[in-house]
Amino acid sequence: MGAIYTDPDELLAAADTPVITVGDVVTETLLAVCTPAVAVIDDQTQRTPLDSSIDRAAFSNKRSVVNDAATISAALVEALGAAITADDSTVIVVDGEEDLATLPAILLAPPGASIVYGQPDVGMVLVTVDTAVRDDCRELLERMDGDVDEMLDLLETNAVSGW
C-alpha cells in the first residue's frame, strides 16, 4: 500500500505526524529512533511469540484489547480511535492478532497521518493517509465477511476526520 523502507531514519524523513505503527517488529524498529503516537502490538511476529516484549515504558498510555485472528473487533476500533485522538503516545496490546489493524488505522487517522506496518522479510511499509488509500481500505472491508455496514458505522463514529 506504500513505499517500503529498511532504514527507520529514512522512513521518518518521509513520514508525517502522527506516526501509527501496526506490528511488533516495526514498532520495535521505530522505537530506536522515535516513539510512535500509536502502536498496535500483539507480542508476536509472523504468529510466533517474541523472545522479548516491546518496551511499553516509552508510551504514556497503555490499552489492552481482544481481537481474534482474521478479525477487526469493535474493541480494537474504539481503542484505535481513542489513541489517535489522545494527547500522549499510546500502545495498544492485542490479545489475539493485530494483523488487520492497519485497515482501521488508515480509516480512523487524520489525512496526512503516517501508518507503518511490516512486510515480513522485506521491510516497513509507509502509508500516507489520503482519500485514495481510504477508498481502497473501504473496498477491502466491503469484501470481508461479517457485518460490514456495522463496521463502517463504527469506523465513521470513531474517525478523527475525513469521512
> How far apart are the C-alpha atoms of 16 and 47, rounded to whole Å?
29
Give tens-digit pLDDT for 129-149: 999 999 999 999 999 888 888
What 8-state DSSP symbol labels residue 128?
E
Give tens-digit pLDDT for 114-126: 999 999 889 999 9
Give tens-digit pLDDT for 22-59: 999 999 999 999 999 999 999 877 667 666 677 889 99
Predicted pLDDT of residue 149:
86
Q: Helices 74-85 and 148-158, interaxial angle, to 10°?
A: 20
- The radius of gyration computed from the CA coordinates of the chain, to the nearest angstrom, equals 14
* Most distant CA pair in the chain, distance: 40
Whether 60 contacts 90, CB under 8 Å:
yes
